[in-house]
A = this chain, B = another copy of it.
Amino acid sequence: MGTAERKEREKAELKELILKTAKDILVKNGQDGLSIRKIASIVEYSPATIYLYFKDKDEILHELMEVGFKMMGSYMKHISPDMSPIERIHKTGEAYIKFGLENKDWYDLMFNSEKPMKHIFDCGAEWNEGMNMFNFLVLNCEQAIKENNLTNLEPQILALQLWSTVHGLVNLTLSERMCIVVEGEPNELINKTLTSMLVSIFNQVK
């Protein structure tokens, strides 16, 4: 009889409901507003029940982080292999920054918070999504170096340089350290800085 299957399906459904609820709270109330007890009260189970579906809060944050990476992917759909490596790098940077600025809570989960990372280290797991993103960047750097005869550059170091700069720009903006130090439209400053970096590296943009 299919009662075992039905039960398993119901368990999976509740787990999904918990995750969906966590996602909604994150969007509506931010990371500080996201608590196990709030999730529990919305799905109408006791807080203890949440722990039958997730090891702890870090695991929930880790799964939300993965959702964040999927969202980020949709910001980068338009980046095609037809573009030049430099253009690809430029578009990736723009999309990365746009995603970060428009999705602070997701960005923090993905690139700042210690909690999803703690879960990864506790489980001996990998940060596949982040690794894929970085490897894609390294690949583009390799091609850009080859196509432009920039033999003095190392792809990995160049990728680190690019990532650090956009990560820094996003964080300085989100933490309001940038706006307090320099006047001017944030988006314009960010784009100018991104362009400045690409020019300094490749002596061209696009």
Point out residues on A near B: beta carbons under 8 Å.
Answer: 111-114, 117, 120-121, 126-127, 130-131, 134, 152-154, 156-158, 160-161, 163-169, 171-172, 175-178, 180-182, 189, 192-193, 196-197, 199-201
Contact = CB atoms under 8 A, between A and B. Distances in A.
23 contacts: A113-B175, A114-B175, A117-B175, A117-B176, A117-B177, A117-B180, A127-B177, A127-B181, A130-B177, A131-B181, A134-B182, A153-B196, A154-B192, A157-B189, A157-B196, A158-B196, A160-B189, A160-B193, A161-B165, A161-B196, A163-B172, A164-B193, A167-B168
A130 B196 contact: no
For the residues of A in contact with B, the DSSP-based class is: helix
Contacts of A171: 111-112, 167-168, 171
Q: How many copies does the complex hold?
A: 2
Contacts of A189: 157, 160
